[in-house]
Structures are given as C-alpha cells and as structure tokens.
C-alpha cells in the first residue's frame, strides 16, 4: 500500500504527492470516479504516505507503520466502509449517523503514533442527508493535523455544503493494458486477463469478475475446441455455433467470445509465419491463416451490425474447420 503502487491514476497520485511534499495536505478530500479504479487503495496509500517513517510522503510498504496501515490496524487510521456496515446492520440512516460519529470521534483525538490522523469513508454517497449534516461540523472546523477522505462513485449525491468543503480528486477509468497487468499480477491466466481487460470498462473489479468466472471458463473451452476444430465432426462445429448464440449469452459474453476467436486467429497467423521458413508449403499456410483472420474480422463486424449471429458463427466456424491445421 504505497503511492507508487497505484497504477493508471497518475494525475490523482501526482496531485496528492505535490500536496504531501509541500506539507499542504487538505483537511478533506472527496475521491470520485467509477467503481473499481483504485480510489480506496489510493486513500489507504495516502494514509501510508502520511504515516510512513522510512519514506515519508511516499510510503515504503515495509516499515511497521506501513504494515499497520496495510492491516487496517494503525491507530491513526480509521476506515469506515459504509457498504459493509449497511449490509451488516438494520437501517441505513441509523448506521450512517453512528458511523459518522465514529469518524468524528477518531479525528477529534490526538495522533497516537504518527504526525496526523486520517479517516477514510468508503461508499460515502451512502450517507443519508442527516449523516452528512453530522459530518459538516467536522468539515467546517477541522481538528488540526487531520485528513478526511470521502470515497464516492458519484459525488453529485453528496450535499453541496459537503462538496464545497472538500478538495475533489478525480479518478479516471483504467486503461485496458493496466487492467490486464493488474489481473496477471493478481494471479489470473494471461489469456483470461487479455480477454477480460477490454470488456472491463476501465474497472479492475469488473475485470476480476470477468477473468475469474464462468466467462473465462467459456473462453478457455472455446480456445480448446478451436485448437482441434479441423478434426471435429461437422455436427460438433454446428453445435459450437449454437452454443455461441444461445439466448443466455449476454452481449459482454458475445464480445468476449468474438475476441477469443480473433485472438486465436491472430495466433495462427503468427504460428504460420514462424513455421513458413521450414517448408515449401509455408507461404500457402500464411495465406490461409491471414484469410481466416480476415474472415473472423468480417464476422465480428457483422455481429456488431446485428446480423444473424447464428448464421455468422456457422459460416466462420465451418471455414476455420475446412482450413485445416496451419503449422
């Protein structure tokens, strides 16, 4: 949990770094942006940067202070997760006011170990108007050496009186390449990560769901079946086309399956080029692989235009079958 471990949010992180370096950290921030792009992780990295003794202003991830932040047990850090709190308790409004009181209580005390006290309220837009008003007092007269971070997907839900007293830090959707890298770093299969990243709409959380769930399983199964398509009976190939277009296949899944086929065709072209030097039939193999890839692109375009999906898949898969082995 350190600032240089936050990927794909350079603008937000640079802004915080500059404030830290100048010793001018705001008393209150609101981190806004789509879900799953690193807002909460950045809030915790900011806490580490404030409290770290080895690399102050940055966080080292290894000193006792950083480790306490990582374990969410640093006495000068308080994290309120409203989503979890509401799931565990009965009514939303009670929870929110109670939680806000705890945040205020934390910030009112003197720092125990570090130079500053930090409170993070995740899912801050879940605060009721009463709860937000209860927080207003803390924002109007912030205790010295404290920083409050409100994490919200939609800051517009917060009261204008709250927003105007917080410095807003915007978080952008993550680049596909960053999501892919983070998924692989988190243990996902590279092929699953490559399929999931472009569909994740900039959210690592969504990317994780896509890379680990049923969809990744379907894409893996599709790759296996494509690998032996040239020796499969025609009926099996037609069954595969039917499965692709079954009504339970949602649009995002369709895109993932198309992406898997395109990827497989691209790999065939690379394999054909790699082995083309080996034999006299090499150039023909490359031509066939390129033609298949072009066919796959054409099918992908047809599907985007809402052409008859079943027919498109039938034609493409039968053609891939007929093309035979490449390398």
Residue 15 touches Zn ion, criterion: CB under 5 A: no
Distances (CA, A) of 155 to 50, 126, 172, 202: 25, 11, 14, 19
- Report the Cα 60 to chain-centroid distance in Å: 24
User: How far is residue 81's CA from residue 89's CA, in Å, rounded to a whole number?
Assistant: 12
Biggest CA pair distance of the chain: 81
Q: Which is nearer to Zn ion, 117 or 163 (CB)?
A: 117
Q: DSSP letters along 230-287, please?
A: GGS-HHHHHHHHHHHT-TT--HHHHHHHHHHHHHHHHHHHHHHHHHTTTSTTHHHHHH
Residue written as tokens 């709190």?
Answer: 85
Q: Which is nearer to Zn ion, 45 or 79 (CB)?
A: 45
- Number of other residues whose CB lies within 10 A of the CB of residue 291: 14
Spatial contact of 192 and 216, defined as CB atoms under 8 Å apart: yes
Q: Which is nearer to Zn ion, 54 or 129 (CB)?
A: 54
Which residues make Cβ contacts (< 8 Å) with residue 59, sequence separation at least 6? 1, 2, 3, 45, 48, 49, 52, 66, 69
Residues 147-186, interacting with Zn ion (CB under 5 A): none
Q: Which is nearer to Zn ion, 60 or 157 (CB)?
A: 60
Q: Which is nearer to Zn ion, 54 or 298 (CB)?
A: 54
Question: Least distance (Å) from Zn ion to the CB of residue 7?
Answer: 19
> How many residues of this chain bind Zn ion (CB under 5 A)?
5
Question: Least distance (Å) from Zn ion to the CB of residue 149?
Answer: 19
Question: Least distance (Å) from Zn ion to the CB of residue 36?
Answer: 26
Question: Least distance (Å) from Zn ion to the CB of residue 103?
Answer: 24
Q: Which is nearer to Zn ion, 45 or 134 (CB)?
A: 45
Residues 43-82, interacting with Zn ion (CB under 5 A): 52, 54, 60, 63, 66
Question: Least distance (Å) from Zn ion to the CB of residue 64?
Answer: 8
> Which residues sit at the interface with Zn ion, rule CB under 5 A?
52, 54, 60, 63, 66
């Amino acid at each position: 949990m350190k600032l240089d471990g936050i990927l794909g949010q350079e603008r937000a992180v640079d802004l915080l770094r500059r404030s830290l370096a100048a010793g001018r950290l705001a008393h209150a921030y609101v981190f806004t942006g789509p879900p799953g792009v690193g807002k909460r992780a950045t809030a915790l990295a900011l806490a580490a940067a404030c409290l770290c003794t080895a690399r102050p202003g940055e966080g080292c991830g290894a000193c006792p202070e950083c480790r306490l932040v990582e374990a969410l047990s640093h006495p000068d850090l308080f994290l309120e997760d409203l989503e979890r709190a509401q799931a565990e308790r009965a009514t939303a409004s009670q929870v929110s006011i109670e939680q806000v009181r705890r945040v205020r209580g934390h910030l009112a005390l003197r720092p125990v170990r570090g130079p500053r006290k930090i409170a993070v309220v995740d899912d801050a837009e879940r605060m009721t108007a009463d709860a937000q008003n209860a927080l207003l007092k803390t924002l109007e007269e912030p205790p010295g050496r404290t920083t409050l971070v409100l994490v919200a997907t939609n800051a517009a839900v917060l009261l204008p009186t709250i927003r105007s007293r917080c410095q807003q830090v915007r978080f952008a959707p993550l680049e596909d390449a960053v999501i892919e890298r983070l998924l692989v770093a988190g243990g996902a299969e590279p092929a699953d990560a490559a399929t999931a990243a472009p569909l994740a709409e900039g959210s690592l959380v969504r990317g994780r769901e896509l890379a680990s769930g049923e969809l990744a399983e379907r894409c893996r199964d599709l790759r296996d079946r494509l690998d032996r398509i040239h020796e499969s009976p025609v009926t099996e190939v037609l069954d595969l086309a039917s499965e692709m277009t079954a009504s339970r296949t949602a649009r995002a899944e369709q895109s993932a399956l198309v992406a898997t086929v395109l990827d497989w065709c691209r790999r065939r072209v690379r394999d054909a080029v790699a082995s083309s030097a080996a034999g006299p039939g090499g150039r023909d193999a490359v031509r066939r692989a390129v033609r298949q890839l072009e066919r796959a692109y054409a099918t992908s375009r047809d599907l985007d235009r809402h052409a008859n999906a079943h027919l498109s898949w039938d034609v493409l898969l039968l053609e891939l079958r007929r093309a035979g082995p490449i390398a």
